Chain A
């Protein structure tokens, strides 16, 4: 913009001596300060030769070559079929508008995501919400974080409750916040949640991965920390009367995974999620039509509308147990032994159940224990 006031090149010998009809002459172009348009406004002044450019003498042969090249480039540009008339494009700051729009559209997202779709900038954007839920709303008390290795693979196996996966978010946040290595946990998310509109992509951007044995194995092979909830949908669909009673652990896929990859299993007990969204009943007859397995009935939902999906402020306790190394005890080949896999899965289920029972015994009141101490 500033070289608008530069004097025209005195030599008259430059490549632009042939009048370009598309470049407005000085009289049509008032010589005023256009700085207010911003730096990236495209006014077509690239056809002007900068002051210092022709100062050095250029060998004649080279000049003609460059001129020829530039003329060719100009013709190529002219013969391209711009959808927008080229003259208009020179006068309107369209490129700048478009660039502004691009910058706006990239807000809150980064142009690099990892192989599984975790976006660091989007993660940072939701951090405040998790921090609020973690320290103010659920007042989470996490213990045994030192059982999680500083580096290398590990498989966190946790119980599951609540109609929305707050528990996986809290396990993730506990490790990122309070573990000395601030590791990122990659929770495996059931299909029903992963394909929910809005929630699924958000979970994916902040680190969630669709629960699939191939995905889990790939993550563990990359030495990541993976959290699984083997109860899956059954755990989320537990009624209030069944609270803190672990459901069946699927087909023991997580045991096979641990055996095959040699990752230690870290049992995790989460207490508090059941009270955050106590499910009194569930309606299934029309839920399938709108793509979800059931519609939960809680003390607040559907009575309060969407606000009823907010969790109740229960007191949470999260305990990470000592790692169980199945890989060295049984070897990778044991993954094919179905009886053994099922037995090991049940042992781990009992372990988590006893951890839950222990935590429940210690907690005084589901809602008020923060205030009671």
Chain B
């Protein structure tokens, strides 16, 4: 295998996630990048290129930090991208906790010894939580409220707190945290795409918060920018514009099912317990209150400006070209 010896070496955990895979593909074409270590429990879906090497790493194993440290040391890792996070809530919450919270601890233990030049963490804007007191635009300095009884969000908040502490204790490492707004697009799969793919969507009677999405291509571009830049701190990665929840449903042609919150809560509880829906009852707060972030920091310091408006993002998710909305609606029935 041909391997160049100059250029940086990048390690990516969660290499078979959507963002991880997108990053691998972009790094493969990047001449300044010498090699890429793809770390995950299963190999990335697309055949890796010449630079990419897959190493099986299971972050839920108790002694993985030592293995990871030797690996990082041997390959002289320059940039570490930590993206081993779940894109949708799971019933195996113990395992999810081991992976996201404890797994981040393992990753940071390994990085504390080796000290890569740069550490990039993939997070979401859900860590701010949907709260009645949220301002219309949450800046990166806003408190990470997390979410009452949502382990899916709270594990990410705890992971992020660990990374922030790591950044304070290791000033020699450039630490950047990317908080992505919910990612929508034709190929990505996460909690929001699953939720919006169903023909019927619950609406909390009389509530209609503004929502925000980022297009998958914008998200992938932002991640690449973050890996390449030297900026440190937290960055909200958001799309252009906001839309009310019911307008998003109308644009997608979904049938809204309005119900009072207590009905929706008990219904979702039953459906979640029987594994008929993919979002736990705590997600309903995101249908009631605002959780919209502001992206000027990413624009200023990462040079990331979203190219897709929210309308375009929603139509792209549907598979409709915005120029002639009548050509292909085959995905719409899915």
The DSSP consensus for interface residues of chain B is loop
Stretch from B166-174, B206-214, B224-232 forming part of the interface with A: B206-214
Q: By the criterion CB–CB under 8 Å, are B253 and A101 in contact?
A: yes
Q: By the criterion CB–CB under 8 Å, are B136 and A201 in contact?
A: no
Any B CB within 8 A of the CB of A53: no
Q: Determine the residue in chain B with the shortest Cβ distance to A195.
A: B132
Any A CB within 8 A of the CB of B332: yes
Partner of A197, one of B206, B210, B243, B244: B206
Q: By the criterion CB–CB under 8 Å, are B333 and A106 in contact?
A: no
A77 neighbours in B (Cβ, 8 Å) = 330
Partner of A83, one of B136, B243, B249, B334: B334
* Distance of A50 Cα from B226 Cα, bound (Å): 49
Any A CB within 8 A of the CB of B46: no
B135 neighbours in A (Cβ, 8 Å) = 210, 212, 214-215
Q: By the criterion CB–CB under 8 Å, are A218 and B137 in contact?
A: yes
Q: By the criterion CB–CB under 8 Å, are A98 and B253 in contact?
A: yes
Q: Determine the residue in chain B with the shortest Cβ distance to A39.
A: B326
Q: By the criterion CB–CB under 8 Å, are B329 and A98 in contact?
A: yes
B289 neighbours in A (Cβ, 8 Å) = 195
A94 neighbours in B (Cβ, 8 Å) = 333
Please count how many residues in chain B sit with their CB below 8 Å of the partner chain's CB atoms: 32
- Given A82-B330, A109-B247, A111-B243, decide whether A201 and B137 contact each other with a Cβ distance below 8 A: no
Q: Determine the residue in chain A with the shortest Cβ distance to B325.
A: A99
Q: By the criterion CB–CB under 8 Å, are A105 and B136 in contact?
A: no
Q: By the criterion CB–CB under 8 Å, are A40 and B326 in contact?
A: yes
Stretch from A115-123, A139-147, A258-266, A307-315 forming part of the interface with B: A115-123
Partner of A99, one of B136, B205, B326: B326
Q: Determine the residue in chain A with the shortest Cβ distance to B135.
A: A214
A-side interface residues toward B, CB under 8 Å?
40, 77, 80, 82-84, 89, 94-95, 98-99, 101-102, 105-106, 109, 111-113, 115-117, 119, 191, 195-201, 204-205, 209-210, 212, 214-215, 218
A/B interface sample: 28 pairs, CB < 8 A: A40-B326, A82-B330, A83-B334, A89-B333, A98-B253, A99-B326, A99-B329, A101-B253, A105-B249, A105-B250, A106-B247, A106-B251, A109-B246, A112-B241, A113-B242, A113-B243, A113-B244, A113-B247, A115-B242, A119-B247, A197-B205, A199-B206, A201-B208, A201-B244, A214-B135, A214-B136, A215-B135, A218-B137
14 additional A-B pairs beyond A101-B253, A106-B251, A117-B242, beta carbons within 8 Å, are A77-B330, A83-B333, A84-B333, A95-B329, A98-B329, A102-B253, A105-B256, A111-B247, A113-B247, A195-B289, A199-B206, A201-B244, A209-B136, A210-B135
